[in-house]
Structure 1
Amino acid sequence: MFEYLRKIFADNQTSINQSPVNSSSESKNQKIEIAACALFIEIAKADGEFTDEERKFIISEMKSTFNLDDDYVNDLILLAEQRVKESVSLYEFTGVINTTFTFEEKIELIESLWKLIYKDEKLNQYEDHLIKRIAATINIEHKQIINAKLWVKEQMGLK
């Protein structure tokens, strides 16, 4: 998943000891990590609940996608939560994704967001609206959103 980004991060791995919270200037990699994490958090909170299961899913996705350790991801989530609170627009996050992710990586991100939404096996109207807004701002067509949704539901054994 996200092979291009993995290559970038392998080539330019930030120091494991450097926390994103304490970093005075963010690298390109950190901006991408924060943007992706912030979108996960936005989706997780869209239904009014941010459960432990959703948090664990975000941690797992961030660790596997960006090859990060537990402490770094926990700090990253705290920073991303703060950025979400301070943000005035999704574009602060989707703009980074749109300019750095390939089309395939964008589709994989949308699939991961659908997986997060369906962690509780139901789709809330706010989650549905938000994922469509996110997808639109990263140039993913409605048909592709629906295809990703149906694929995720099938993979998760949902009707």
Structure 2
Amino acid sequence: MLQQIRKLFEQIGSGADVEVRTEKDVRMISAALLAEVATVDQKLDPREQETLTQVLQQHYQLEAAVAHEIVREALSHREQATSLYEFTQTVNEQFDEKDKYLLVRQMWQVAFSDDVIEAFEEHMIRRVAELIHLPHGLFTRARAEAREMHGGENSSD
């Protein structure tokens, strides 16, 4: 599995056509987008990293060690991606509306985990939602659900 993860990130980094056809690749795309939210402000809060790992572990029913490795790979290779389009194109091809909604909600969960929604984080999530053609109503519902899951508080609202 690690070879497939490395191959995916190498393809993304080289600008090559990314062959994404397996569940493992979908997990890496999700991890990469969640890692982007966690690091878009140029710092990685441990709470964001932990939430990222937990979200992947729960959503994809992964062993803890596998989830940690996927997150480690996603974080270490995030600089190789040249645009969100590389990830969102795969999301559009492989995710149905429910999966897109869950992905955006997970992105909000990561953003809320450090108790502050940075402008960069909100912009990133909004841009991904637009690129994956998630209706605005589902975008706002995802945010509200993630806020509720976090405890309903956010200092930047």
**Under TM normalisation by the shorter chain, which class is it?**
0.7 to 0.9
Do residues 151 (structure 1) and 145 (structure 2) align? yes
CA deviations 1:88-109 (Å, max 9, x no partner) are 0112211222211110111111
Greater than 2 Å deviation, 4+ residue runs: 18-27, 141-144, 150-156
Do residues 48 (structure 1) and 31 (structure 2) align? no
Identify if the C-alpha distance between structure 1 residues 123 and 70 changes in structure 2 by more than 3 Å, giving closer, same or farther.
Answer: same
Distance in structure 1 (CA, Å) of the matches to 2:3 and 2:41:
27
After superposing the two structures, state which structure 1 stretch, 48-57 or 144-153, moved more.
144-153
Identify if the C-alpha distance between structure 1 residues 81 and 20 changes in structure 2 by more than 3 Å, giving closer, same or farther.
Answer: farther
Residue 127 of structure 1: how far off its partner (Å): 0.6
Which amino acid counterpart does residue 54 of structure 1 have in structure 2? E
Distance in structure 2 (CA, Å) of the matches to 1:73 and 1:20:
15
Aligned twin of 2:118: 124
Which ranges in structure 2 are unaligned for 5 or more consecutive residues? Answer: 9-19
Aligned twin of 2:2: 19
Residue 19 of structure 1: how far off its partner (Å): 2.9
Query: How many residues are aligned here?
Result: 142
Considering only aligned residues, what root-mean-square deviation do their CA atoms show, in Å? Answer: 2.2
For the residue of structure 2 that corresponds to 1:60, the secondary structure is: helix
Distance in structure 1 (CA, Å) of the matches to 2:63 and 2:55:
12
Which ranges in structure 1 are unaligned for 5 or more consecutive residues? Answer: 1-17
Do residues 110 (structure 1) and 104 (structure 2) align? yes
Residue 69 of structure 1: how far off its partner (Å): 1.4
TM-score normalised per structure 1:
0.78
Which amino acid counterpart does residue 122 of structure 2 have in structure 1? D
The residue correspondences of 1:94-109 to structure 2 (distance < 5 A) are 94-109=88-103
CA deviations 1:2-36 (Å, max 9, x no partner) are xxxxxxxxxxxxxxxx4356766876122101100
CA deviations 1:65-98 (Å, max 9, x no partner) are 1122122222212222243210101122112222
Distance in structure 1 (CA, Å) of the matches to 2:104 and 2:89:
15
